[in-house]
Structure 1
Amino acid sequence: MKNIFDSQTNSQEEVVIPETTTKPVLDVHERPNPGMWLTFSIQHVFAMFGATILVPMLIGLNPSVALLTSGLGTLAYLAITKGKIPIYLGSSFAFITPFIALAEKGVGAQMLGCLVIGIAYVVMALIVRGVGIEKIVKLLPPVVTGPIVIVIGLSLAPTAVNMATLNTGHFDWGYTLVAIFTLAITIFFTNYVKGFFGLIPVLMGIIFGYLAAASAGLVDFSAVRAANWFAVPNIVVPFKDYVPEFSWAAVTAVIFVVIAPISEHVGNVTLLGKITGKNFIKDPGLDKSLLGDATAIGISSMLGGVPNTTYGENIGVMALTRVYSVFVIAGAAILAIAFSFCGKISAVIMSIPNAVMGGVSLLLFGVIASGGLRMLIDNKVNLSVNRNLVIVATILTIGIGGFGIPIGIYGSIHGVGLAAIAGVILQQILPKKEAGFGEVS
């Protein structure tokens, strides 16, 4: 990010986003005709759908509620950013590991964790408004954020493998073959299919994997047949469905992981600015963007959803189609809300076997890790520089190894959270800080 947030920049207003040289099909505030509007919005729903429903399934929450809160959160984000940033918000992968751990303590602990994440975003928004984005970026250079993202992906690898191979705790060839088929279909659509279907390889992998699982007798359709077409999502409301109880374990499980998705947020807003030729860091401001994300996460915590984040998948769709309209993003949010009220859709989602989701996850979790590697490559972080090598190696070892430090009655700091703290500290105390930002071409 150094090529955008130069170390000599003194104020948020001085940040420059290069303008795109490609004329948009629809610019940010242009409204499409009804037919185009529906088509473009459906495309965005498909782009986010697979990942958005996968996260709650992995952490034991309801996919329909995740769709609902994704749509509501996106609408809230658009409102807070004054309709100036066309970003879709979907389920965040960053918190899968801590939320799986919190599942043992119940949905109340998970929702408290979700609320803590939202509060952390609010605090960061206030800090950005007070001190400026440049000082925040100095704490989170690519040499820190890159390996953190790698850790997030690789720490989930055992979960993907277990889902793909184990049935009731034992290796199952039927499960494994379905998972391999699902993985192969996802790879095929990623590499060989162009156009619309090439944008939704995860969803296509799930669909074909589901059909294969059904042919192998691994799908129970009884709940699908019994489901109504219209059904209110099974939302979880505090004081009605559970009594909120403060837990240090919930706080420590998520608070130190927030560094990664906040870094991702900054990167996505910056990238979208480059694509559209607008300076979203300045107008409406990164503080409002973070506050919009915080509001979306807060909505999730009140309804039993999962933490949301800005979706690179949908930014990719905009880059390919050159359709930047906020009306299209709002339309996608409304469609997601509508789908969440369809009982048949919810029942089908819940009937997807672990083997199918595991097959997709074998690729998807690796893609997350590869995204961190790309951060290092794109920013030309030189690992022949000892201080960079030390930071990357320490983060990877602590994070993937699950190194933890108990903190008395409050639980422990471990895994990606401890790795993130170690990375930030090392970046500040080791010499040649500028090397952590990479080289400017």
Structure 2
Amino acid sequence: MANEANAAIGTQPVYDARTLGKPRMLVLGFQHMFAMFGATVLVPALTGLSVSATLLFAGLGTLLFHLLSKGKVPAFLGSSFAFLGGYAAIAPKLPDAGGNPTVANTEMLPYACFGVACAGLLYLVLSALFKVFGAKRVMAFFPPIVTGPIIISIGLTLSKSAVENCATHWWIALVAILVVIIANIWGKGMIKIIPILLGVIASYVAAALTGNVDFTQVTAAPWIGLPFAGEDTVFYLLSHDPDSALLVSAVITILPIAIATMVEHIGDMCAISSTCGRNYVQDPGLHRTLLGDGLATSLASLFGAPANTTYGENTGVLALSRVYDPRVIRIAAGLAILFSFCPKFAALVTAMPQATCGGVSLVLYGMISAVGVRNVVENRVDFTKSRNVIIAALIMVLSIGIAYSTAGALALGPVKLTGLAVGALVGILLNAVLPGKDYEFGTDLKGDTSSDLGRY
């Protein structure tokens, strides 16, 4: 205890932040909130969901995760990028007066939220399987030859929207792109961990200084208010007469995305374990962390907030500060909850220029696909095997081909399946029936952590 009390932050591991004093704990909590901020609020800006509800349920979801994981894992839950493809497929933004897709699709967002809520429940199924059968036997159904191409396809199917957003003001988008690249490649310390936030701020300021931002709603918004947006919630949908075919389509479309995010979660737990020098895969166990992540996602979706996921940005802060106490993460969660009660801040995010979103999205979506490539490479998937070539080929061609076809989806009666849903289902089925499976989870930490969508 004495050694920890005298330890300098960043030089020696600190597992009990109380030895540092409350002021330092608060500062460290702000640092963790700062790290997750840019990425977390970007998701509602891209989808049309409530910024305030997003922050509220990022905080509440993190606290729920800590409760279910016995308060042992220093993980923060922020908005998941992986589900952006699901929101775009079910509730694409509508054109404004100028023809640009900037208007939230409030009629369809509840259907997308319902699909995400069901995807969160899929975590509970996997959690139970991990508890009963163990990680190795369950992960045999989700090897890198399946998850890698799925992650690649998620990024590529979103690429069109990123380019279209950039095209509204390319120079504003380029500011965001350049700042993200510079911070990511040459940044040091905290700068390297928050490139998306820095890109958003720089591009936003450049747009504001040149008169390309409308602050009317920001001026009109109050400083304090409730963080709920009833028109975006699944509760609102269920109080009306929903289209059952659309509900089924949303569920089938979004459920396969959970495959990628669940594997990402497992990679995050391995990465946090490696960073902190504690085996969180065994204690409290993946069944508990998956349960926390899944319930947090379902809870957020029920109130019109995006899906949650464990954040690589905050793992980077752990490595930077070497303070591994989960109490600091819970302070960050409390701060996120406080910010959710500020409608003026939410209005500031909503007023973000479309080109700013496009610029950071262009890099972000490309990074998602790059992580899929990394997942395949670092697990040394053997493409001399015909089974692996066939599985990867069909996943990517079906996912991307259907997405960019004239119909944009595969119709099975009243139900429509997106390309990503079809590709994921076909990949899982082929991997299960074709001979030659050789992947074993837990034998290579580098490979197991290579599906982390938030690591960069």
TM-score range, shorter chain: 0.7 to 0.9
1:182·1:206 contact (CA, 8 Å) conserved in 2? yes
Moved more, 69-78 or 111-120: 111-120
1:164·1:355 contact (CA, 8 Å) conserved in 2? yes
Q: Secondary structure at the match of 1:406?
A: strand
Determine the structure 1 residue equivalent to 2:411.
406
Choose which of 69, 74, 94 in structure 1 pairs with 2:82: 94
Q: Secondary structure at the match of 1:156?
A: helix
Choose which of 153, 178, 186 in structure 2 pairs with 1:192: 186
Q: Which amino acid aligns with 1:408?
A: G
**1:276 corresponds to 2:257:** no
Q: Which amino acid aligns with 1:362?
A: L
2:146·2:424 contact (CA, 8 Å) conserved in 1? yes
Q: 1:291 to 1:30 in 2, by over 3 A?
A: farther
Determine the structure 2 residue equivalent to 1:432.
436
Moved more, 375-384 or 199-208: 375-384
Choose which of 216, 220, 228 in structure 2 pairs with 1:222: 216
Deviation at 1:31, TM superposition (A): 5.9
Q: Which amino acid aligns with 1:102?
A: I
Q: 1:389 to 1:277 in 2, by over 3 A?
A: same
User: Counterparts of 1:25 and 1:281 in 2: how far apart (Å)?
Assistant: 20
Choose which of 219, 225, 229 in structure 2 pairs with 1:231: 225
Q: Which amino acid aligns with 2:72?
A: K
1:158-187 Cα offsets, whole Å, 9 max, x none, are 111011113xxxxxxxx1111112111111
Determine the structure 2 residue equivalent to 1:15.
none
| Number of residues of Structure 1 aligned to a counterpart in Structure 2 | 411
Q: 1:28 to 1:370 in 2, by over 3 A?
A: farther
Q: Secondary structure at the match of 1:78?
A: helix
Determine the structure 2 residue equivalent to 1:165.
167
Q: Which amino acid aligns with 1:146?
A: G
Q: Secondary structure at the match of 1:233?
A: coil
1:38-437 equivalences in 2 (<5 Å): 38-103=26-91, 105-166=107-168, 175-236=169-230, 239=235, 243=239, 245=242, 246=244, 247-402=247-402, 404-409=409-414, 411-434=415-438
Q: Which amino acid aligns with 1:243?
A: S
Q: 1:48 to 1:78 in 2, by over 3 A?
A: same
1:81·1:289 contact (CA, 8 Å) conserved in 2? yes
Deviation at 1:312, TM superposition (A): 1.6
Superposition CA RMSD, Å? 2.3
Q: 1:387 to 1:320 in 2, by over 3 A?
A: farther
Deviation at 1:154, TM superposition (A): 1.4
Q: Secondary structure at the match of 1:412?
A: strand
Deviation at 1:201, TM superposition (A): 1.1
Deviation at 1:194, TM superposition (A): 1.2
Deviation at 1:202, TM superposition (A): 0.7
The percent of aligned pairs where both chains have the same amino acid is: 38
Q: 1:307 to 1:219 in 2, by over 3 A?
A: same
Q: 1:356 to 1:270 in 2, by over 3 A?
A: same
Deviation at 1:242, TM superposition (A): 6.1
Moved more, 295-304 or 257-266: 295-304
User: Counterparts of 1:288 and 1:31 in 2: how far apart (Å)?
Assistant: 28
User: Counterparts of 2:320 and 2:349 in 1: how far apart (Å)?
Assistant: 28
Q: Which amino acid aligns with 2:427?
A: G
In the alignment, structure 2 segments of 5+ residues that lack a partner are 1-9, 92-104, 404-408, 447-456
Deviation at 1:438, TM superposition (A): 12
Deviation at 1:239, TM superposition (A): 4.7
1:114·1:300 contact (CA, 8 Å) conserved in 2? no
User: Counterparts of 1:268 and 1:330 in 2: how far apart (Å)?
Assistant: 18
User: Counterparts of 1:241 and 1:370 in 2: how far apart (Å)?
Assistant: 36
Q: 1:425 to 1:37 in 2, by over 3 A?
A: same
Deviation at 1:233, TM superposition (A): 1.4
User: Counterparts of 2:136 and 2:364 in 1: how far apart (Å)?
Assistant: 32
Q: Which amino acid aligns with 2:357?
A: M
User: Counterparts of 1:80 and 1:308 in 2: how far apart (Å)?
Assistant: 15
Question: Structure 1 length normalisation: TM-score?
Answer: 0.87
Deviation at 1:298, TM superposition (A): 2.2
Moved more, 389-398 or 260-269: 389-398
Deviation at 1:382, TM superposition (A): 2.5
Q: Which amino acid aligns with 2:379?
A: N
Q: 1:438 to 1:234 in 2, by over 3 A?
A: closer
User: Counterparts of 2:237 and 2:133 in 1: how far apart (Å)?
Assistant: 40
Moved more, 28-37 or 121-130: 28-37
Q: Secondary structure at the match of 1:139?
A: coil
User: Counterparts of 1:28 and 1:384 in 2: how far apart (Å)?
Assistant: 49
